[in-house]
Every structure is written in structure tokens, then in C-alpha cells.
Amino acid sequence: MEAVAQLRGDVYLEEWRMHVIEFATVLGQTIVAGDEQGLAGVWFQDQRHFAGIEKTWIHQETPLLRAAKQQLLAYFAGELQQFELPLAPKGTAFQERVWQALQGIDYGFTCSYGDIAHQLNQPKAVRAVGAAVGKNPLSIIIPCHRVLGSQQQLTGYAGGLDRKRWLLNLEQRQAGLILKG
């Protein structure tokens, strides 16, 4: 492929490489990965739907990963409410629509899976929305923790319900709201 590109005079681009860092947070060991396109993942070490760090990923702190780490730590300290990072999550077209909708949930507020389904003009797709929310690779930054059950109850979170409760309480304290339960 490279030889063909050089023969044609094309610029051959090396495959984008995923970089990854790990660091401690108040909610446990956190893993952040990204490439030239943007941030691809933020996971807790024991998070559901996280297969682990791939062998091809490079353990190196890039400017993007450094910025993500700084912003996450500021968020956990209650000093940041909105992330300013280029995002590049990879999923199906439906998952990406759901993840885009999640980004519209304001800090300190919540909505239901049904609300997201209605927003997507697919009111019967509540379970599919729930599955897509659960597969969100950018925990916290794409705020899947802000989605609750139809009766405003805490339901599924790939990082665990204790973390979801902690995140919601942090945001609601900072926003001057109180979470029940």
C-alpha cells in the first residue's frame, strides 16, 4: 500500500495510533485513550464493556491526553462543568446519535432513557437507547451518568451505581440541587 501510494505521488499516512494513560481519581483508576482524531475513551479500570488496554496502544501522555486528565481532575474537584476536548467515539450510527443526545444534558440535570428516545424521534427505542448509553466509551465526558430510569431511579451504569450516584451528587451539589436516594 505504501509503495503504491508513493508511486502515485500520494501522501501515505501511517495508521493512526491510539495513545493511552492511566491515573488515579477519587472514583478509582481511570484510563484515557485517544488518537489524532480526538479522545476515544475514558473508562474506569473495572468498567463493564471495557475490554482493557489493547496491546497496540502506546502508553504515552500526549497533549490531548494531558488536557483530558487535567479536565477530569478539575471536574472531580468540582471546578469544571463542561469539557473542552475533541471527541472521537466509535460506535454504530445509532449509538453515535444517542451519544450526541447525551451531550445535550446540562451539568447538574438528568433525563430518562425515554426522554432520549423521544428526542431521537424513536419513542419505542427505549431499550436500544439504554444499550447505547451503556456502551458509551467516553464516561463522564459524554455524560451517560445523567440518564435515569422512567421514575427518576438510578439504573445501570457501566462504571457501577455507586460511581453514578457520586457523580450525580457532585454535579447537583455544585449546581445547588439535591439528589434523593
- Active-site amino acid positions: 144
HSE, side-chain direction, 13 A CA sphere, residue 103? 17
Contact of 112 with 150, CB cutoff 8 Å:
yes
**CB distance 57 to 20 below 8 Å:** yes
Cβ neighbours of 76 (radius 10 Å): 17
Cell of 73: 481532575
If one counts every other C-beta atom within 10 angstroms of the C-beta of residue 25, the result is 14
